[in-house]
Amino acid sequence: MTRRDGEDMVLMTKREAGARDQLLQIAAQLIAVATDDRGTLTDRMSDRFEWMLALSEEDRRVCAKNLLDAARASFATGQSHRAIAEMTAWRETAVALAAGLGASPVEWLDEPVAVERP
């Protein structure tokens, strides 16, 4: 919005503003990780994002790389949803693993089961 007596203004939705704030929070955490020189990248990421500790060591390594790649893509394109979606997916996976989901074997049905339409 252009104003005669002041700086131009930008109007955005609350959702857009929230996504921007989330992306800035992720950026702040990643900058902290990047400027820390103790331990591996995976160790530093797990220190900042403690939920990563629920993941296996290999999954933490993959998670750290995926989060950085998604953040870089979001920062480069100005599209926050990529980094936020990646962070949310990994965090929810860690929460599910911490709750014990995935620890028991999956029982697959040999034959499909028909159900009535609700």
Q: What's residue 86's pLDDT?
A: 95
Report the distance separating Cα 39 and Cα 72, nearest Å.
22
Distance of alpha carbon 49 from alpha carbon 100, whole angstroms:
20
**How large is the angle between the packed helices 41-48 and 14-35, nearest 10 degrees?**
130
Let me know: does 63 contact 45? Beta carbons within 8 Å.
yes
pLDDT on residue 58: 96
pLDDT > 70 fraction of the chain, expressed in percent and rounded: 100
Residue with tokens 């060591």: 57
- Please tell me whether residue 8 adopts helix, strand or coil conformation: coil
Distance, C-alpha 61 to centroid of its chain: 14
| pLDDT < 50 regions, the chain | none
Q: In the prediction, which pLDDT does 56 show?
A: 94
Q: Which amino acid is at 15?
A: R
Summarize pLDDT for 68-99 with one digit per residue, the tens. Answer: 999 999 989 988 889 999 999 999 999 999 99
Is the pTM here over 0.85, yes or no?
A: no
Predicted pLDDT at 20: 84
